[in-house]
Amino acid sequence: IIIESWKRRKLVGKKRNQFIPTVDRIAQYIEENPNTINNEDFMNHLMTLFTAAFDTLTIVSSFAILCFGMYPEYQLSNYFSLKLLDKWIIPKEAAIAISIFNIHRDKSYWEHPEHFYPDHFLPEAIIKRHIYAYLPFSAGPRGCIGTHI
């Protein structure tokens, strides 16, 4: 179905959202190299891509909500800033990323953020820290499928 959909889009020159070009590239590769991947492997790759895309969107929106929840004094000013920017609002299907590197080095949560410090992960340290200050596998119901492995 996906390959057939790609062929129809290719014939009419129709472009879709930001994720579809990745699928199109994979479908084109399979068409040009028919013996390199079977349908089952192709579907498994697509499921991985879809899962990763949903995970990214979940992390970004959750982190934004977390930040505004932690710093309510910025909610109203940022709302008005968006209005002042001539309605510059994040468009539907926009690709967004958060800096997990910086979250994991936030001095307000980590005693020694720039150093390997195993005591950061002692139970008493974990209890004191915000639940989303450490995101090795994302968080929430759409987090990384490898969380519990």
pLDDT of residue 67: 79
pLDDT, greater one: 105 or 69: 105
The pLDDT tens digits for 102-122 are: 888 999 999 999 888 889 989
Helices marked H in the chain: 2-12, 20-32, 39-70, 75-84, 100-103, 123-128
- What is the mean pLDDT of the segment spanning 131-146? 77
Q: Is 144 annotated as a binding residue?
A: yes
Contact 55, 142 (CB under 8 A): yes
- What is the mean pLDDT of the segment spanning 30-47? 79
Shortest CA distance to 94 belongs to which of 64, 137, 67, 134?
64
- Is pLDDT above 90 for 60? no
pLDDT of residue 148: 63
- What is the mean pLDDT of the segment spanning 125-145? 82
pTM above 0.85, yes or no: no
pLDDT of residue 128: 92
